[in-house]
């Protein structure tokens, strides 16, 4: 272990160390001034972004390849740290309203973000596993953060924990089998063994499938998605916002790196299955969302369907000509999804009442008249999630579908386009209720929340009109050092 090694892992080290320090500092912060803890948490993530920005396009390896750094990891880390900051901003007022103000919330959030940040840099299966647990365990606790007053929060935490641990079991066993087949757990080394001829391809394939199941659970693709609606529904909304973006981005970071740098040949063998999972996810997520009355459950199915859109990139990376485009399309989509989705959750948080009500879609009636700004923002987010131009979501979908067509998966592209047409049905229902029915929604207005909404709405709009800079960033991934 050298200073250079530590230097590469600096973003993770800062967030994790800061979380430990904050845990102690928080003891000395009085209960009525927990805003300070929130501010310190944001500062910590701000510090962590400095090394990321300074070495954005550098390509480094540390700890014998266990930690890697490239454009891919930098892009994701920046996204994840941003998501962390926004989650704090969303949570601050919400916690007070639900009367669950505790400094530990921000510490746990920081720990979870540190797991996500580590996941972006994971170059070894064991780091993938550690990062995944570091990401998940705080989320289990956060899901149950309102358990005292709300039995649903308790239930959500329990379900998430049991199923999450179950999925981790698959991942660990999968790692063990991969290790057995190749003699190593380092992702690039696995690939080297694979191309020089692996003795037991069956063992390796089974291991890869087990890992796929575990990670598929984290990103919530069908049929590993069943936990999502219940957990998203029961967990405090501010936690759900973080889960729906952060955990998903972390899961996809591992999936993409593993299947591109680790075993693309196996991905090629599994291509029909991957296509099937993507198609099934798109269909199930988008159709099941139609029957939902609760907006949190609707957004849960929406998040499943968006996982399906990104999952379409997995069978596409098999072709090494298309892989660069597939990776950048997935990164870009993750980014615009994060922006629009966090914005939508911001609106949901603004409308949620202290007693936990205000979450039915009918509660949005009359928002267009009462609070035109908020309604306009929500309409923008919904349009972006549908993929209507010129919002960011359109550009994102455009690139995804282009990659899918480049990879000659026309059937999958058709499923994607048709399901996004179907998705217009349930997203627009929110818009219709907001503008075309009268009602008396109770809206919470607060500085941090409003700032978040402005930022995400602006982002959704501007990324639709000037996606160029972000696309450039997303396309300079360095492909984990595969391309010089």
Q: Are 393 and 384 in contact (CB under 8 A)?
A: yes
Footprint of other proteins on 390-409 (CB under 8 A) = 390, 395, 398-399, 401-402, 405-406
Nearer to other proteins, 16 or 210 (CB): 210
Cross-strand bridge partners of residue 62: 67
Q: How far is CA 104 from CA 29, 83, 94, 142, 163, in A?
A: 11, 18, 15, 9, 24
Nearer to other proteins, 50 or 200 (CB): 200
In 269-302, which positions are buried (b, 16+ CB within 10 angstroms) versus exposed (e)?
Answer: ebbeebbebbbbbbbbbbbbbeebeebbbbbbbb
Among 75, 92, 111, 129, binds other proteins (CB under 8 A): 129
Q: Work out whether 197 is an interface residue with other proteins (CB under 8 A).
A: no
* CB 43 to other proteins: min, Å: 27
Site string for other proteins, 224-243 (x = CB under 8 A): x-xx-xx--xx---------
Footprint of other proteins on 28-67 (CB under 8 A) = none
The Cα–Cα gap between 145 and 30 comes to: 19
Nearer to other proteins, 113 or 213 (CB): 213
Q: Work out whether 452 is an interface residue with other proteins (CB under 8 A).
A: no
Site string for other proteins, 138-177 (x = CB under 8 A): --xx--x--x---xx-xxxxxx-xxx-xxxxxx-xx-xxx
Q: Work out whether 72 is an interface residue with other proteins (CB under 8 A).
A: no
* CB 51 to other proteins: min, Å: 25
Q: Which residues, other chains included, contact 39 with Cβ-Cβ below 8 Å and sequence gap of 6+?
A: none
Binding window for other proteins (CB under 8 A); candidates: 90-98, 221-229, 244-252, 303-311: 221-229
Among 20, 354, 436, 483, binds other proteins (CB under 8 A): 436
The Cα–Cα gap between 100 and 147 comes to: 9
Q: Which residues, other chains included, contact 36 with Cβ-Cβ below 8 Å and sequence gap of 6+?
A: 29
Nearer to other proteins, 92 or 332 (CB): 332
Nearest residue to 419 via CA among 334, 305, 301: 305
Binding window for other proteins (CB under 8 A); candidates: 73-81, 310-318, 354-362, 414-422: 414-422
Among 26, 70, 188, 325, binds other proteins (CB under 8 A): 325
The Cα–Cα gap between 342 and 135 comes to: 18
Q: Work out whether 244 is an interface residue with other proteins (CB under 8 A).
A: no
Q: How far is CA 9 from the centre of its chain?
A: 21
Footprint of other proteins on 255-284 (CB under 8 A) = 269-270, 272-273, 284
Footprint of other proteins on 294-323 (CB under 8 A) = 297
Footprint of other proteins on 330-389 (CB under 8 A) = 383, 388-389
Nearer to other proteins, 35 or 154 (CB): 154
What HEC string does 165-232 produce?
HHHHHHHHHHHHHHHHHHCCCEHHHHHHHHHCCCCCHHHHHHHHHHHHHHHHHHHCCCCCCCHHHHHH
Residue whose tokens read 């629009």: 340
Q: Are 384 and 458 in contact (CB under 8 A)?
A: no
Nearer to other proteins, 168 or 456 (CB): 168
Nearer to other proteins, 344 or 413 (CB): 413
Nearer to other proteins, 50 or 290 (CB): 290
The Cα–Cα gap between 218 and 225 comes to: 8
Is 331 in a helix, a strand, or coil? helix
The H or E element that residue 477 is part of is: none
Binding window for other proteins (CB under 8 A); candidates: 5-13, 103-111, 287-295, 333-341: 287-295
* CB 329 to other proteins: min, Å: 9
Q: Work out whether 198 is an interface residue with other proteins (CB under 8 A).
A: no
């Amino acid at each position: 272990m050298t200073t250079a090694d530590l230097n590469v892992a600096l973003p993770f080290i800062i967030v994790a160390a800061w979380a430990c320090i904050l845990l102690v500092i928080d003891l000395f912060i009085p209960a009525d001034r927990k805003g300070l803890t929130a501010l310190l948490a944001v500062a910590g993530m701000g510090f962590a972004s400095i090394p990321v920005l300074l070495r954005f396009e550098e390509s480094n390896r540390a700890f014998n390849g266990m930690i890697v750094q490239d454009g891919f990891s930098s892009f994701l880390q920046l996204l994840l740290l941003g998501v962390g900051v926004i989650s704090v901003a969303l949570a601050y007022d919400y916690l007070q309203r639900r009367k669950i103000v505790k400094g530990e919330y921000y510490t746990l959030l920081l720990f979870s973000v540190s797991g996500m940040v580590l996941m972006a840099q994971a170059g070894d299966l064991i780091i993938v596993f550690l990062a995944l647990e570091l990401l998940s365990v705080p989320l289990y606790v956060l899901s149950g953060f309102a358990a005292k007053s709300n039995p649903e929060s308790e239930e959500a935490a329990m379900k998430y924990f049991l199923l999450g641990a179950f999925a981790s079991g698959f991942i660990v066993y999968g790692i063990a089998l991969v290790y057995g087949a190749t003699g190593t757990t380092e992702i690039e080394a696995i690939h080297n063994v694979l191309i020089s001829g692996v003795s037991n391809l069956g063992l390796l394939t089974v291991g890869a499938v087990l890992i796929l199941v575990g990670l598929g659970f984290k990103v919530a693709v069908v049929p590993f998605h069943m936990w999502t609606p219940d957990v998203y529904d029961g967990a405090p909304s501010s936690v759900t916002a973080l889960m729906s973006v952060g955990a998903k981005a972390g899961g996809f970071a591992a999936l993409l790196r593993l299947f591109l740098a680790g075993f693309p040949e196996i991905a090629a063998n599994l291509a029909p299955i991957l296509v099937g999972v993507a198609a099934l996810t798109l269909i199930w997520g988008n159709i099941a969302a139609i029957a939902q009355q609760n907006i949190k459950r609707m957004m849960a199915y929406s998040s499943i369907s968006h996982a399906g859109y990104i999952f379409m990139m997995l069978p596409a990376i098999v072709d090494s000509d298309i892989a660069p485009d597939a990776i950048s399309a997935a990164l870009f989509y993750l980014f615009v999804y994060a922006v629009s989705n966090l914005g939508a959750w911001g609106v949901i948080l603004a409308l949620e009442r202290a007693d936990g009500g205000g979450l039915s879609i009918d509660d949005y009636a009359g928002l267009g008249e009462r609070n035109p700004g908020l309604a306009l923002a929500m309409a923008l987010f919904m349009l972006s999630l549908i993929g209507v131009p010129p919002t960011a979501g359109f550009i994102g979908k455009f690139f995804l579908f282009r990659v899918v067509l480049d990879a000659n998966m026309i059937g999958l592209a058709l499923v994607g386009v048709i399901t996004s047409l179907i998705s217009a049905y349930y997203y627009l229902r929110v818009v219709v209720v907001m503008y075309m029915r009268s009602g008396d929604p109770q809206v919470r207005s607060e500085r941090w929340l409003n700032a978040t909404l402005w930022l995400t709405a602006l982002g959704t709009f501007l990324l639709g009109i000037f996606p160029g800079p972000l696309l450039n960033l997303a396309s300079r991934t360095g492909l984990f050092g595969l391309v010089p």
